[in-house]
Amino acid sequence: MTTENIPQTQRKPVVSIILLVLGLGLLLCVEGYYGFRLHTLSGQQKEIKEDYSNVNNITLGLFSVDQWHDEVAGILKNQVRNFKMTPKQKKALQVEVEQIILALINKAEGLINKPQKSVSGKITRFAVRNFVDTDDIKAQIPGFAKTIIAQVDNPTNKKQLSTMAMGKFTQMENTGVVDSLLSEKEALISKVYKKYQVKTVDQFNNKLTNSLENIKNQTYTYSFIMLIGIVVVLSLWWMLRRRVELHATLFIMSLLFAFILLAVGLMASMIEVDARIKSLDFVLLGEHVVFKNQVLFFQSKSILDVVEVLIKQPAVDSILVGILILVFSILFPVMKLSSTGIHLLGKKKLAENKVIKYFAFQSGKWSMADVIVIAILMVYIGLNGLLETQLAMLNIKSDALTIITTNNTALQPGYIIFISFVLYGLTLSTILKFITPHDSH
């Protein structure tokens, strides 16, 4: 049937309904697109932060034998090769060396002067007494000491000394356990570097930090655009409150917006726990050793992630909690939205069905969606306060040691969207009670 065949009295409502459907349909596509983008970016953000946390994890940095080996090796090489003695130190060292040489000569002389029983011993004693002037040797001790000190201060010999000093570290590198740990670390880092097309940890950190900042800005922008869409829908309800013939169409379109909010709210990350040591700086052998961005803990979870984790636990109580969250916070809202649409559009017999009426008007008190919102908020407040307190206790500022911690725990856009769904769903439930053509009791 075309609009030409519709009586003049009915043509205006039909046109209004078509325009309403087209307008809200376009807005729904925009809402769905930005909801999909928000979900996609949320997943990308989680993946990037997990890679960042793996590469910068404290077990691969501050608690890594390899990292300590590199830091200490660099210090030893620098200390030995660049070591310079002052004239005062050289004078004191010369006295020490002279005393050591003199003690060795005296000890050798004492051994020679002992009564010898063997023929070779007697020959040696005779040769030393008659051909070796120990007093002349002792007179040359200062010259020997100067030569030794000059050799120690020689750059070539310093290089050899630094190589000797690194011997223990080389032995540690060659042990099986360390080799295994290093190979695992190198494989992990190599894989991640290849993924992001970088070659150094600085390039990696800078690239991921910039990417995360861009994603954060985009996700909040998309969230606000979705909220604007909901505000537009609710504004239409106010403007068309007297157009009873449009209420059913407007309500069904409103339900589609609610489904989008629910889907995004369930799948996007809601809370992110990120605790790290921003900087650890201490003095070792007169030089600064610095570890930066050492991640202590990172987790990012959506409601569906939490349900999945709980259900996969071996403990029965965890599985039970996961099932309860699944039923009352996910399935109940879906059933409620579906039932409100069926109640409004369905025939009287279907609309008056006890199950449909229950989910449409009475299931709200059993839904835990609003409880989840409050619970996550309380978890965030409590956990954030606990981390702030504990990390603050690690902060140290002194000449020998400086530790700066940072707590990046935060609620994510998924939480905003889920709150919007809860409030929007309550509003739709109130609207349904006023526009239903059937008994709502």
Going from N- to C-terminal start, the domains of the chain cover 3-75+181-435
Quote the CA–CA distance of 347 and 369 in Å, as a whole number: 29
pTM recorded for the entire structure: 0.70
The predicted pLDDT at position 177 comes to: 46
Q: How far apart are CA 364 and CA 349, in angstroms?
A: 23
Query: Residue 2: is its pLDDT beyond 50?
Result: no
- pLDDT at residue number 384: 75
The residue with greater pLDDT, 79 or 417, is 417
Give the model's pLDDT for residue 329.
80
pLDDT tens sequence across 263-304: 999 999 988 888 888 887 766 656 677 778 788 878 888 888
The contacts found for 159-165 with CB under 8 angstroms, 24 or more apart, are 159/81, 161/80, 162/76, 162/77, 162/80, 162/81, 165/76, 165/77, 165/80
| Amino acid 13: pLDDT | 76
pLDDT at 424 over 70: yes
User: What is the mean predicted confidence (pLDDT) over 184-196?
Assistant: 83
Say how far apart CA 54 and CA 64 lie, in whole Å: 13
Sign of CA dihedral 249, 251, 253, 259: negative
User: Strand, helix or coil at 376?
Assistant: helix
pLDDT in tens, 394-404: 777 776 667 77
If pLDDT is split at 50, 70 and 90, which confidence band does 176 have?
A: very low
Q: In the predicted model, what is the mean pLDDT of residues 136-142?
A: 73
